[in-house]
Amino acid sequence: MTDIKARPVVLRATMKDVAALARVSLKTVSRVINNESTVNAELAARVRQAVEQLRYQPNFGASALRRRDGRSSTIGLLLEDLSNPFSATIYRAVEEVAAQRFVSVLGGSLDESPFRERELTMSLSRHRVDGVIIAPASHDHQYLRQDQEAGVPFVFVDRPPSLLRADQVLSDSREGTENAVKHLLKIGHRRIGYLGDAATISTAQERYRGYLDALEQSGITLDPTIVVQGLSTIEAARDALAELLGSTNPPTAFFTGQNLLTMGAVRAIREAGLQNHIALVGFDDFLMADLLEPAVTVVAQDVALMGREAARVLFERIDGDTSEPHHLVVRTTLIERGSGEIAPPLH
């Protein structure tokens, strides 16, 4: 009995088919496919013609299975959320470097979930990726030790590993923030609100530290009532900032720890009609920041560079580099556009 619903699947040509058509052995086809130079020109030509005729595509998986190095020509890339501009820029930069080596990228979004992180790293492990670049969500990476010891390099980007020795490519969050806050202090602000992500996220922690550093160096006492952490969306930031603006002694300036929070802040300030009176500096640049009124002053990260460097380090490891873990720091730049240069009201 034949299955009526089954579509007529034309089988793919295998190396065996190519060998038969070219009247050579399997091994000779393998040699031609892998560009081993020791093949008689005439045989090689026959093989190439058969490959052409059958439109033969070698099976990477089968090849990797038997190969000495077991390379799958695939790397994993786990980021916070591939639809946000930060993650998307990293993806693109990594893809570019990988493509030069004909390596494909398996991407995934972690959404700040340690559970997703474990699920996706496990999936990558089962796919036998040659290496992984990760902006982690969890705070214990010991579980990656086994893969690491099995020869899979991990490069941490944007956030460092915890309890694991591995390469890392980070922004100078603390210094960048310190500079931004000092900039506001220099303009004359003494009451600077802080909106940041959950303090469990290392970059958020570093940025908060930078904020504290700047205040301390100016002899300003921290007012915890104008610090809001645990924010991650445009809406949450807008609401938090709106509330602070409505309080009895509102800040005259704000620092926001991430671009979505900056957008939320812009919204709240605009809705209060205070865009020419409340100063704002945000961490991480975003499209259109310079077209808002006032244009938004930011601490810009070189996100594409972070991605490129992470990929570069990863491929060095894949190529056998066994030196000590690298700690790369990518510099940030304060871009003054207007919102950060608004002076506080005169007393």
Q: Which parts of this chain interact with DNA (CB under 7 A)?
A: 11-12, 14-16, 24-28, 30-31, 33-34, 38-40, 43, 56, 58-59, 62-63, 65-69
Question: 3-class SS at 152?
Answer: coil
What character string, x for contact with its own copies (CB under 8 A) and - otherwise, covers 128-167? x-----------------x--xxx----------------
Shortest gap between Cβ of 60 and its own copies (angstroms)?
Answer: 5
Percent helix, strand and coil across the chain, each to the nearest 5:
45, 15, 40
Indicate the helix (H) or strand (E) that contains 92.
Answer: helix 85-100
Cβ pair 255, 231 in contact under 8 A: no
Separation CA 3–CA 313 (nearest Å): 51
Give the footprint of its own copies on residues 266-325 (CB under 8 A): 266-267, 270, 286-288, 291-293, 320, 322
Class of residue 20 by CB neighbours under 10 A (exposed 0-12, middle 13-18, buried 19+): middle
**Binding its own copies by CB under 8 A: which of 14, 30, 113, 125?**
125
Q: Which one, 215 or 231, has the nearer CB to its own copies?
A: 231
DSSP single-letter state for residue 53: H
| Contacts to its own copies from residues 239-268, by CB under 8 A | 263, 266-267
Contact 46, 23 (CB under 8 A): yes
Residue 256 host element (H or E) = strand 253-256
> Which of the choices DNA, its own copies, none does residue 68 contact, using the CB cut-off of 5 to 8 A by kind?
DNA
- For its own copies, the closer CB: 110 or 169: 110
Q: How far is the CB of 10 from DNA (least distance, A)?
A: 12
The amino acid present at 33, given as its one-letter code, is I
Q: How far is the CB of 125 from its own copies (least distance, A)?
A: 5
Note whether 100 binds its own copies by CB under 8 A: no
Please identify which residue in 35, 37, 102, 324 interacts with its own copies, judged by CB under 8 A: 102
Q: Can you say how many angstroms the Cα of residue 158 is from the centroid of all Cα atoms in its chain? A: 7
- Cα gap 173→206, rounded to integer Å: 6
| Residue corresponding to tokens 């004359």 | 188
Closest to 326 in 3D by CA, of 151, 169, 135:
169
How far apart are CB 253 and its own copies at their closest, in Å?
19
66 binds, among its own copies, DNA, none (CB under 5 to 8 A by kind): DNA
Instruction: Using DSSP, state whether 212 is helix, strand or coil.
Output: helix
5 is in the binding site of which of its own copies, DNA, none (Cβ under 5 to 8 A by kind)? its own copies
Q: Applying CB under 8 A, which residues contact its own copies?
A: 5-7, 9-12, 55, 57-62, 64-65, 72-74, 81-85, 87-89, 91-93, 95, 99, 102, 104-109, 122-128, 146, 149-151, 263, 266-267, 270, 286-288, 291-293, 320, 322
